[in-house]
Amino acid sequence: MENRDKNITDKRVILGGVLVVIGALLLLGSMDIFDVSISRIIFSWSFIMTIIGLFILFNTNKKVLGGVFTGIGIFFLIPRIFPHVHYHGGIIFPVIMIALGIYIIINHRKKGVGKTEKSGFFKKDLIDDVSIFGGGSKIVSSDNFRGGNITSVFGGSEINLTGCKLAEGDQIIDVLLIFGGTTIIVPRDWNVVVNVTSILGGFSDKSIRDPGVIPDQSRTLYVKGLAMFGGGEVKNYL
């Protein structure tokens, strides 16, 4: 629990530091202390993607995705830093498609099947959902659900966990939502704690506990992660 709280604090400190630096540069630019080209760099999509990539790389377990975003951002940031370098406009979409394709292939090869070697539980007890330029619904069934990862980039997903029983202890779902979103449907008797960092986005907890059921205090689901230009919610079936 202490490590989880420390990680959340570290993320907020890093995010706050980035915002302070960007704000200071913009302020100095508006006062004509810096050249206007600073604003040209900061207000570019490539700079935003670089920041997103670095945030993912150093603050989540999605290192490959963070590296892909950082690489794409830096690649297209170079012409803004060095005006003599020019890229043809037609290469932007293919480069992004190639990078995301590489990520999907690497991510797929990392996934195992069956029982994990060290932990002793099955892969079906974990959710690992990736939605890129698309999405869909998924129903998860497990008698020992242990959390997992949900990634939505220009896409969306709906994850139904009503057929699951939460494993004992603190279980974590790590969400990464960039220009995308997700809806997580949980049973009414679960303890749910939402702690998602939002940047020009949002993530809400709309789950309602059943007043006739006493939740098991030894089992808690934590939903944490990053929602940037996107969002999501945790809710129950009506």
pTM of the model: 0.61
**Nearest CA to 49 among 64, 68, 36?**
68
Q: Please tell me the predicted confidence (pLDDT) of residue 119.
A: 45
What number is the average pLDDT over the span 189-216?
A: 81
pLDDT above 90 covers a percentage of the chain that reads: 13
| Residue 234 pLDDT exceeds 80 | yes
End-to-end CA gap in the chain: 32
pLDDT over threshold 80, residue 34:
no
CB of 204 closer than 8 Å to CB of 182: no
Q: What average pLDDT is seen over the chain?
A: 77
Torsion angle of C-alpha atoms 27, 29, 34, 36, degrees rounded to 10: 160
Assign 74 a pLDDT band (cuts: 50, 70, 90). Answer: confident
Residue 144 has pLDDT above 60, yes or no: yes
pLDDT at position 209, please?
A: 72
Q: According to the model, what pLDDT value does residue 184 have? A: 94
What is the structure's pLDDT at 125? 86
- Tell me which residue has tokens 């919610």: 233
The lowest-confidence range among 11-25, 84-98, 112-126, 142-156 is: 112-126
pLDDT above 90 for 84: no
Radius of gyration in angstroms for the set of CA atoms belonging to the chain, rounded to a whole number = 20
Helical ranges in the chain per DSSP H: 2-30, 37-42, 45-59, 63-81, 92-110
- pLDDT > 60? residue 115: no
